[in-house]
Amino acid sequence: MTKQDWVLLAVAYTRPGTPAPQGLDQLRLTKTLFLVQQRFPQLQGLGFRFHPYLYGPFTTEVYEATEALGREGFLSWEPGSRVRRFVATPQGVEQATQVAATADAAALAYLVEERSWALKSSFPEIVRRIYAEFPAYKEYSVFRE
C-alpha cells in the first residue's frame, strides 16, 4: 500500500452493493486521512507528514497524490475551483476495489466511517474535533469560533 492508494480509497472506495462515493473536498480528504493515520500509525502507506497549519493538520502529500491519481485517470475535479472536490472516475472506483482487497480491513472500515462522518459534518465541526483530540495541531490556527 502507498499514500496514493490510501488517497484513492478515501475518495473512491465503496463497500460492495452500496452507491459510489459522492466525492470528497480537499479539507475532508486531508482530515479523514489524518484521523486514519492517527488511529493506525504503523500501517503501511500511511506515513503522511502532517504538520500544524491554518486549519489543523496539513500536508502537501495529499495534493501530490490527488494530482498523480488525476493524471492516471482515477480522480477528477472541476478545474479552477477554489476548493477542489475530488470525484472518482469509473476506472478509479474499479482500481479502489482492487486496492481495497489488499488493505488492512480494520483501517479500511475506519476510513469509511470517518469519511462518512466528515461528509455529514460542517467545516467548524471537523476543525473543532481535530483540535479537541489533537491539540498540538492548533498551533498555527486561524480558525475562530
Calculate the average pLDDT of the chain: 92
pLDDT in tens, 68-88: 999 999 999 977 777 889 999
pLDDT in tens, 45-54: 899 999 999 9
DSSP-assigned states of every residue in 113-124: HHHHHHHHS-HH
Positive/negative CA dihedral, 107, 3, 92, 79: positive
Confidence of residue 30 (pLDDT cuts 50, 70, 90): very high
More confident residue, 58 or 44: 58
Please give the helix or strand (H or E) that residue 53 lies within, else none: strand 51-53
Q: Please list, residue by residue across 21-34, b when 16 or more beta carbons sit within 10 angstroms of its beta carbon and e when fewer do.
A: bebbbbbbbbbbbb
Backbone phi, psi, residue 70, to 5°: -65, -45
Q: Is the pLDDT of residue 20 over 70?
A: no
Q: Which grid cell sits at 48?
A: 503522511
